[in-house]
Chains A and B, each alone.
Chain A
Amino acid sequence: MIEVKNITKSFGDLTVLKNFTVNFKEEGVTVILGPSGTGKSTLLRCINGLENIDSGDILVDGLSVNDKKNLRHIRLNCGMVFQQTVLFPHLDVMHNMTVSPIKLLKLSKKEAEERAEFYLNKVGLISKKKSRHNELSGGEQQRIAIARALMMNPKALLLDEVTSALDPEMSSEVLNILEKLAADGVCMLAVTHEMSFAKKVASRILFLDKGSLVCDEPVERFFRETRNENERISRFLNFIGE
């Protein structure tokens, strides 16, 4: 569903992704691992068209991100949630969830609200539907952001370290939700440092280092064998205490 074809992305002199190629099917959870500053966020942002790529191509559902006309379709199909949660501060939770489906998917207000209630139940926050972002904890905000992304019925969720800014308790709230969604069959591409989540939920692990793909393997093999075979990976895993 997502084909990243030999892309290069630089910021000024800094080449962040070099001739990077990878494919994602519309299934399961892929966890992207790697040290900070290796281009994991940049990869997700390129897929979602938030960054322009210098060369190569990314196809989502066969549509290229290089063509601006496709961006809307691509973004509707790849919901994205950021490390730093961004709720719209001038809207309450319900309106945060419904404004986009009403405007972009042409749902009626009633349909949008019903869908919002469904997803708010899913993330366990139906009681907060009238709250503003500053009345919510970080974990709650992040769960709302996930629910808001799901409102658009994306084929995949791009998750960029969605728990890194949270304390352990809140981050396990969020991870539980993601686990539930994965069990429902939601396809995810998740950058995370949460190894227990990766082991439990992921089917596939990508390891990035310095802008290139070091390995791309099924989760069992990654944690059983690759981690011992590859020195960079074992150093990384030891470093984050795994």
Chain B
Amino acid sequence: MQAFEKYRSLRLLDSLQFLRGIGVTLEVTLLSIAIGTFIGIILGIIRCSKNKAVSSLPLIYIEPLRNSPLVTQLFLVYYGIPMITNWMPSAFTCAVLTLSLNTGAFFAVLVNNSIKAIPQGQWEAGYALGHGKTSVFIHFIVPQAFRLLIPQAVTLYIGQLQCSSYVALISLIDLTKTGETISLRTMMPFVCWGIVFALYFIISFPLSKLAQYLEKKNEFAY
């Protein structure tokens, strides 16, 4: 009965804290996927340039970020920036900054691949009707590329939500960090981590279903 009491008190006292943890996790994730998406769209379009020098420029940014662990990037920003500048960004700023840049790198590749997946014939059909490059891009390529992009973007976003749990390592009180704190205090790791697990799942699962649905819905042959 004592254990049961303890369990109840855990729920009452700490449910608010879990909620706050979700809040931080969502805030970091949403902010960084918004910024990352913006970066990714711009760089993804630059990657499509016919001019090799222009199109490979974004790779300087994209490749290192895609080919190193997010945790390393996070530590580099969190511990590194105060060392080489006199700016002392908060853990939250570092988290958003790193995740944004990381999302941007992956998103740029998705954008680039989606645009390149549109058959050359679609461009030419647009040109043949008298459209210029920008006009073809806006009216015919973007809507088609967008359909290819959406499900992949959702999948990336889910991944970034999960990766955001690394921000716990730079002492930001996100959902994971909350789980750790409460678990240590209550000595009930299974329950606490179970709750954290369930909360991530509850957010991610509908999104991954959405991605699947969008993927099906947007299938079209040329």
B-binding residues in A (CB < 8 A) = 48-50, 71-72, 75-76, 79-80, 82, 84, 86-90, 99-100, 103-104, 132, 134, 148-149, 152
Contacts and interface: CB of A to CB of B under 8 A. Distances in A.
Given A48-B127, A80-B128, A88-B122, 14 more contacts: A49-B127, A50-B124, A72-B132, A75-B127, A76-B130, A84-B121, A89-B144, A90-B140, A99-B139, A100-B129, A103-B135, A104-B129, A132-B220, A149-B129
Contact of A82 (B125, B147, B221): B125
A82 B127 contact: no
- Chain B, interface size category, equals 20 to 34
A48 B131 CA distance: 12
A191 B144 CA distance: 30
A48 B126 CA distance: 12
A75 B125 CA distance: 11
A148 B124 contact: no
Contacts of B135: 103-104
A90 B143 contact: yes
B190 interface: no
Contacts of B119: 86
B222 interface: yes
Nearest to B145: A90
A52 to B, nearest CB: 12
Nearest to A68: B132
Interface of B: 119, 121-122, 124-125, 127-132, 135, 139-140, 143-144, 147, 220-222
A84 B140 CA distance: 17
A133 to B, nearest CB: 8
Q: Please name the 4 residue pairs, one residue from A and one from B, whose CB atoms are nearest each other, closest first.
A: A86-B125, A80-B128, A76-B130, A75-B130
A50 B128 contact: yes
Nearest to B220: A89
Contact of A104 (B125, B130, B222): B130
B53 to A, nearest CB: 20
Nearest to A132: B220
Contact of A152 (B127, B130, B140, B147): B130
B127 A90 contact: no
Nearest to A105: B130
Contacts of B125: 82, 86-88
Contacts of A132: 220
A79 B139 contact: no
Nearest to B120: A86
Nearest to B132: A72
A90 B131 contact: no
Contacts of A90: 140, 143-144, 147, 220
Contact of B139 (A76, A86, A103, A149): A103
A88 B140 contact: yes
Contacts of B143: 90
Contacts of B147: 90
Contacts of A50: 124, 127-128
A162 to B, nearest CB: 13
Contacts of B220: 89-90, 132, 134
Contacts of B122: 86, 88
Q: Which of B122, B124, B130, B140 is the most central at the interface, judged by chain A CB atoms within 10 Å of its CB?
A: B130
Contacts of A72: 130, 132
A48 B130 contact: no
Contacts of A149: 128-129
A156 to B, nearest CB: 13
Given A88-B140, A89-B144, A134 B129 contact: no
Contacts of A82: 121, 124-125, 128
